[in-house]
Amino acid sequence: MTKSRLRSDLIFTMPFSNMLHMSFADRVKTTQLAGFSGMTIQPVEVKRFVAEGTSIAEMRKIADDAGIAFGRLDPLCTWVPNWHFTNFPESYVRESATSPDEFFDMCEQLGTSYASLNATFPADRYSTEQITEYYTAICRKGAEHGVTVDMECIPMWGVVSLEQGWDIVRKAGAKNGGLIFDCTHFTRSHSTFATLASIPGDQIHCVQVCDGYIPMRPGVTLEQECFERLWPGKGDFPIAKMLTTLNETGGLRQIGPEVFSASLVGKSPQEIADLCVASLVQYDALAG
């Protein structure tokens, strides 16, 4: 196991983004090596592993035996009537088509009580009031399965900023509602530190740490950058200030470096584990 030197009072979770090229067994091994207690997984990946011969029950046993929990299932996209993307290929739409019933059943089988919600529709498709109604309804359905439903605010889609996301979560008032904080989305949506500091820490259930350039490189779109990120500390984002603010509000939960990047393909579990720990331990808010 990597000697992490990370705070022992916080929960660190390995994002699926760092392990897209790995088998399920190697994902568990990577999480162990980093000293993290949980990992996330996508519904499409669960289905693929099942199709390849590893049942959900077997996945859960492998993870349980290693002392690793499924921190969350990520993402649920089909929570509004017309959830379809307009800025990604049809293949991505098909991969994201897991229904709420199948999604929450998967949560129960995996033993996870956290779900990530993506508003994959265009920003002009629904009003904030309509989105709040749909969010309230999906939280109600999640509660039937003991699942907390966290909104991720992504500027290239339908809930474009932390301000809008917090407005939706606050107005919905669901006991099992909450937010995901992502450094890239916070920066690119021009969300403010004043908003971040105003959100009670217990309403933020996941912190995804990643980096990028300021300003964004010429010719690069939000869609491209979202799936080609930098490791924390390799770009210009004010990550230390973000984490310090979250630490002050009590919002440091399920922390992990979420780095989508083609450069990770082929890296071993130990290499990914070392990169993950090194990318986080440099921040005072996370270092033990």
Cα 9–chain centre separation:
20
Strands 177-182 and 148-152: parallel
Q: What is the mean pLDDT of the chain?
A: 97
pTM score > 0.85 for this model? Answer: yes
pLDDT over 70 percentage in the chain: 99
- Taking only the tens place, the pLDDT of each residue in 104-127 is 999 999 999 999 999 999 999 999
Mean pLDDT of all residues in 68-90: 97
- Taking only the tens place, the pLDDT of each residue in 34-67 is 999 999 999 999 999 999 999 999 999 999 999 9
- Taking only the tens place, the pLDDT of each residue in 135-189 is 999 999 999 999 999 999 999 999 999 999 999 999 999 999 999 999 999 999 9
Q: Are 75 and 152 in contact (CB under 8 A)?
A: yes
Domains of the chain: 13-281 (3.20.20.150)
Confidence of residue 192 (pLDDT cuts 50, 70, 90): very high
Q: Are 271 and 246 in contact (CB under 8 A)?
A: no
Please state the three-class secondary structure of 84-150 as a single string: CCCCCCHHHHHHCCCCHHHHHHHHHHHCCCEEEEECCCCCCCCCHHHHHHHHHHHHHHHHCCCCEEE
Predicted pLDDT of residue 288: 86
- Taking only the tens place, the pLDDT of each residue in 215-272 is 999 999 999 999 999 999 999 999 999 999 999 999 999 999 999 999 999 999 999 9
Predicted pLDDT of residue 130: 98
Indicate if the pLDDT at residue 273 is higher than 80: yes
> Residue 180 and residue 152: Cα distance in Å, rounded?
5
